[in-house]
Structures are given as structure tokens and as C-alpha cells.
Amino acid sequence: MSVTINAHQLGRLIDKVRGHIGNEYVEVLHGIRLDVDATHLHAVASDRFTVAAARYRLNADEQGQEPWARTIPAAWLTPLRAWTSAHGGGDTITISTEPGYVVFGTGHTEIRIPVTDDQEFPNWRSLLTRIAANIPTKFTFPAVDSRMLARWADTDDVLRVHVTTDLTALMVFGEDFIGAQTPTRYTGVGSSGKSTFEEAFAQWPTLDDNNEALADMSTAMPVDDKRRYNPADTIPDMVEALLQQTLRSTSDLLGAPSEDPGAMASFALAGVNSWSAYRFLDALHKADPRLAAQTVAELAEELDAGDYSETAWEIAEKAGHDPQKWSDDYEAHLKKLAEKRASSVAAEAVR
């Protein structure tokens, strides 16, 4: 099983979908899927929230072959892309499969990438077909310049988008933001420059309409295998979590038994820290929304990694503090509390 493609087109396939690769906690999505059907070579990627597929039409003598698919692991994409770029854009690259490998080769060199032959991947054809089924086939819709879409990234907001009609501006709304983007005239399907969804979707005849496919992204994608604690990674989620923890800690404090000062202190400290974190986040968001969003996202990654305690220790040392003394003092404090509690229990027993 093999197909050919020139180096330029292979590089484009990789680049078009690479930004949609899932993280390492979802192994089946942590890479790019090469999927060959009777007419096209596809590169597909998904991060569970987006799915992207790019295609390249096979040469006539390569069409009609038995379909096959393999996932190129994310770790191999950088060397594969570098190897591809080292060739002239017009150089022919043959992509073939062997047990446990996908082989990319020219007449002079090759790169062999280890893969899992029977690794599964979401049924992206059926998934996209089911999503498309919700769009009226006669719907006329605007075309937008994908390079301009990146300009909305600096709004630091979760944006809502309203698609109007063909050749009419796209409306964009954020919490404290509003905008519009002028469409571009589409010159592909239809000589008039207009295109209905039916015309556009017809250009993908190899997508199927499997009625047994799962209906939406939330259920069709594999489960994230990372630890079950999911830290907030957006400002609205973080604000909700901090305020919720503040109120929950206050409730726990009021309900804590008075004879357990340790529990009362823990609840009080949790409430104080949550409220303090909220106030700092609120101030940072007002002063620099972009930095606030970046900080929350980075914090979520640090909490998810679970090594923030070691990092805090290193930061404390670099700042001139003695974290070992802090640890020793705290252990001594806990020992005193335990001794005091034991003494109190013994006194009660004597009475």
C-alpha cells in the first residue's frame, strides 16, 4: 500500500492540521492521522474540541486502492516536517506502510516512523457528516479569509459569532467587545462567486452519512486520560471556582466542631486564600486582561502537572528563603499539637 505526493503538498497537509493535535493524555489524538481512501490522501487531526481534515487528490493510477490509515505520533512530526522541507518542493515522496511503520521515501533517502497498526481514531467522516446535517443545504453563507480570523485572538474573550448571509459581514461579540469581519468573494464553486452549503459539501463525496455515528463532538471523542482534577483554565471558570471555594470554606468553617481548632483553621485559611486569589485575579484582569488569561492558562497546566510544590520550593530558595526550615518548623508545630491532643485525651481518661 503506497501513495505519492510532492514534498510541498505533503508539508501543506501537515501544516494545515497540525494546530489541531490533541495532547498527550489522549493517545489516539496525539498525532496526525494519514487516511487514504479510493481518491484522496487525507491528513486529519483533532484535540477533542476541533477536528480538521486536509486532502490531496491521488494520481489516477493510485486511485481505487484498498483504504488504509495510520496515525503519525506527535513526537515524529517535527523531524518529519524537517525532512520534508529538506527536499525540493517538486520532489516526489512515496508514502508506504510496513508492519509497525509508515515509510516516507524518495529515490535517495527515507524516514521510517514507528506506528501502532491497529490504533483506532474517531470516525471523522461520519462525525463531520452528522454535524453538517444540521445545516440547511440551500443555506448561503459568507466566505472569510482564514488569515484574518487570527486577528480576533487578541480580544482575550470567549467570542460568540453570528453568521449572517452571503457577502454580508460576520458579527463577533465578546464580554466587552464587538466587531465585524467583511467576507471575501469565493471564486471556487460557482462562477457567480456565491456558494450554497450544498454546493460546498458536494466537493467532499467521500464523507459518509453513517446513521450509527455519534452525533456530536462531546460524545464522539475519546475520554481524556489525565488525572481527574481539572483546574480552571479560563478567567470565567477560575472566578467561579474561587468564589465557590470561598463560600464553601465559610460554610465549612461555621459548621466545624469548636473542639477541633485544626479543622477550623484549615477552613478559615482556605476561605481567605480563595478570596485573596479572586481579588488579585480581578485586579489583574482589569489592569491587563491578556496577561490575566495567560496566567490562568499557565496555572492550569502547572496544577495539572502536579509538580507545583517542587517549583515553589525552588522559587523560595532562589528568593533567599529557607524552605527546609519552614518544613521543619511546621513538622514541629504538628508534633506539639499531637502531643497536646494526646495529653488532653489522657487527662479526660483520668477524670
Q: What would the pLDDT profile of 230-241 be if each residue is shown by its tens digit?
A: 677 788 888 888
The top-level CATH class assigned to 2-121 is alpha beta
Please report, rounded to a whole number, the percentage of residues in the chain having pLDDT higher than 70. 86
Residue 258 has pLDDT above 80, yes or no: no
Q: What is the mean pLDDT of the chain?
A: 83
Residues near 93 by Cβ (< 8 Å), separated by ≥ 6? 4, 5, 6, 7, 10, 84, 87, 104, 105, 106
Note the pLDDT of residue 78. Answer: 96
Q: Which residues pair with 55 in a beta bridge?
A: 42
Note the pLDDT of residue 191. Answer: 44
The whole-angstrom separation of Cα 267 and Cα 254 is: 9
Q: Which residues pair with 71 in a beta bridge?
A: 33
Residue 313 has pLDDT above 80, yes or no: yes
Q: How confident is the model at residue 91 (pLDDT cuts 50, 70, 90)?
A: very high
CB atoms within 10 A of CB 248: 14
Residue 89 has pLDDT above 60, yes or no: yes
Residue 227 has pLDDT above 60, yes or no: no
Question: For the whole prediction, is pTM greater than 0.75?
Answer: no
Strand order in the sheet with 68-73: 51-57, 40-46, 31-36, 68-73
Note the pLDDT of residue 178. Answer: 84
Note the pLDDT of residue 220. Answer: 73
Q: Which tens digits make up the pLDDT trace of 161-201?
A: 877 666 678 888 877 788 888 887 766 655 455 567 777 77
Q: Which three cell numbers stand for residue 325?
A: 526550615
Residue 221 has pLDDT above 90, yes or no: no
Angle between helices 308-318 and 289-305 (to 10 degrees): 120
Residues belonging to the chain: 351
Residue 326 has pLDDT above 50, yes or no: yes
Domain ranges in the chain? 2-121, 125-220, 235-350
Q: Which tens digits make up the pLDDT trace of 270-287?
A: 889 989 999 999 898 888
